[in-house]
Structure 1
Amino acid sequence: MASELKSLVAELTNAVNRKQFDNVNTLLTRAKRTLLLQNALIPTSSTDPQLLVLARETLELGALSAIRQTDAPAFTRYYQQLQPFYDLEREANNTLDTKTSQRSKITGLYLLLLLSSGDGTSFHTVLEGLVEEASLKERNVEDDPFIKYPVDLERNLMEGSYDKVWRETNSERVPSEDFALFSNVLVGTIRSEIADCSEKAYPSLPISNAKNLLFLESEGAVMEFAQQRGWTLRDGRIYFPVEPEAATRSEKDILVASSSIIENAIGYARELETIV
């Protein structure tokens, strides 16, 4: 049975790497059924360590396949199923082979998923556990590039340094192709934040400036985005809706409210213009 499962996992690895997702889903079903018959999907102290390794590899491949198919709920389920295996890895008397473990990568991807979905509470809960574990081993959690990447992005987002987030998601520092899949989601978050701040900071903006400010590829994309937000387009400018409470505030107060965010974004927009 173990040899059959090992062959299945090898086929599954190949299919995931080739992004043959129809085949992946079929192989995952077969592998999980085999593991279920061996009572290996939930690890226990009496389970054959070789089966545990194959079960962990199967679930990790399922998680990576879910990410590559942009199926966040499926990825989350695989992440949760993997936690008992990762708990075993943390035990001092662990007999589970960790050489092939992708725990670090899967955990980093989960942190990035939480960050992309705006779940800051869960993000920090997971991160605190990792920090505590690293400190017990006299290590720094950010020594791990898979963990450091989402942590840096979260820090920059909290600071309003959206230009830094944009650079990180488009740089060689992205740990792997799987992490790059979140770029559009994160940039969408950035764009929404900048749009919110722009509405508070300015009565209007030229469409040409808004293109770089909002990290959009064309003025046509700006106009489409503006219509989705309910902004008014007139004479080459975007006019933001005026909130009733904002009408009584001075222009200086409005500008101060979001100055750091807007300055960072505009600074990056100017850099883009220089590069182009």
Structure 2
Amino acid sequence: MADKELQLIYQGLKRSFTSRDYQSASQQLTAAKIALLQRNALIPTPFTPRSILLTAREILELGALINIHTEDESAFSRYYSQLQPFYDDQTITPPSPNKSKVIGLHLLLLLSKNDIAEFHTALETLEAPEQDPYIKYPVMLERWLMEGSYDKVWNATKSSEVPSEEYSIFTRILVNTIRNEIAMCSEKAYPSIPILNGINLFFLSSEREVVEFATEKGWHILDGRIYFPQDDENREVLEAGSIIENTVAYAKELETIV
């Protein structure tokens, strides 16, 4: 296969991605990876021309980003792993302009899975992470998560601080993880809360969304309140209550929750 043919495959893939046709792009990724395999370019070697390695790196980066848009976390992680030899090889120049974005997205995915140990392991390999906006963002979120400042995380996911569209997709997953953690703590800390307070507590937009969330959790709803399942262990867990208080400290209705 000639270089021109590889470039045609790459350009077609890029057009589909740019036009947001992620279904076609996903199908084109298969042909692109076969083309790279035929050229021994899925893993960088000294014997593969640099021009082909640059194209291979860009195809794999597109693969990672495409799978974010299709919300395929496992596929994104596979592409991230495949990109590491390309990022580590200093002979492949110029450096990728998308490297920080892909790494930052990987960090954000680790946060959404609550894999804090792996998050810090990945962070230790980076130089001056807080100087890069793509890396700084997940680092900032992780710090707030460790503080229990979930309201700051929520506000950051809704602000202009989100570095790119792809980050917005992963932050939705992160917020859902936080929401479920708060739900678990709420069950332990309180016998019931007003539905209205659930909007701020669970970072939702309306009472209807709160009712839907409560129904998914199997909670009982009666007379405008959500009733959590209670047992002796739940009543003894006081620490969970302090976590909830940190979460909703910014809400004016805090005193009515308990």
TM-score (norm 2): 0.90
Most deviating of 3-12 and 49-58? 3-12
Q: Number of residues paired by the alignment?
A: 252
Distance 1:226 1:58, change over 3 A: same
Shift of 1:263: 2.6
Does 1:169 pair with 2:165? no
State the Cα deviation string for residues 49-76 of structure 1 (Å, max 9, x = none). Answer: 1111011011111111111111111111
State the Cα deviation string for residues 153-212 of structure 1 (Å, max 9, x = none). Answer: 111111110001001111101010000012321121121122222223322211111222
SS of structure 2 residue aligned to 1:150: helix
SS of structure 1 residue aligned to 2:193: strand
Match of 2:113 in 1: 117
Distance 1:25 1:205, change over 3 A: closer
Does 1:215 pair with 2:203? yes
Which 5+ residue runs of structure 2 have no aligned equivalent?
254-258
Match of 1:46 in 2: 47
- Identify the match of residue 179 of structure 1 among 144, 163, 167: 167
Distance 1:71 1:246, change over 3 A: closer
Match of 1:156 in 2: 144
SS of structure 2 residue aligned to 1:258: helix
In structure 1, distance between residues paired with 2:27 and 2:219: 47
Match of 2:217 in 1: 229
In structure 2, distance between residues paired with 1:26 and 1:232: 45
Contact 1:141/1:147 (<8 A) preserved: yes
Distance 1:3 1:101, change over 3 A: farther
Shift of 1:30: 2.4
Match of 2:85 in 1: 84
Match of 2:256 in 1: none
Match of 1:264 in 2: 246
TM-score (norm 1): 0.84
Match of 1:5 in 2: 6
Contact 2:63/2:76 (<8 A) preserved: yes
State the Cα deviation string for residues 198-256 of structure 1 (Å, max 9, x = none). Answer: 22332221111122211122222222222332322222112222222344x4xxx73xx
State the Cα deviation string for residues 117-148 of structure 1 (Å, max 9, x = none). Answer: 22222222211222xxx1xxxxx211111111
Contact 2:108/2:171 (<8 A) preserved: no
SS of structure 2 residue aligned to 1:19: coil
Shift of 1:100: 4.0
Match of 1:137 in 2: none
SS of structure 2 residue aligned to 1:268: coil
Distance 1:246 1:20, change over 3 A: closer
Q: Which amino acid aligns with 2:108?
A: L
Q: Which amino acid aligns with 2:123?
A: L
Shift of 1:260: 4.3
Contact 2:60/2:82 (<8 A) preserved: yes
Match of 1:143 in 2: 131
Percent of pairs with identical residues: 52
Which 5+ residue runs of structure 1 have no aligned equivalent?
135-139, 272-276
In structure 1, distance between residues paired with 2:5 and 2:97: 20
Does 1:190 pair with 2:146? no
RMSD between superposed Cα atoms in Å: 1.9
Contact 1:162/1:190 (<8 A) preserved: yes
Shift of 1:6: 2.1
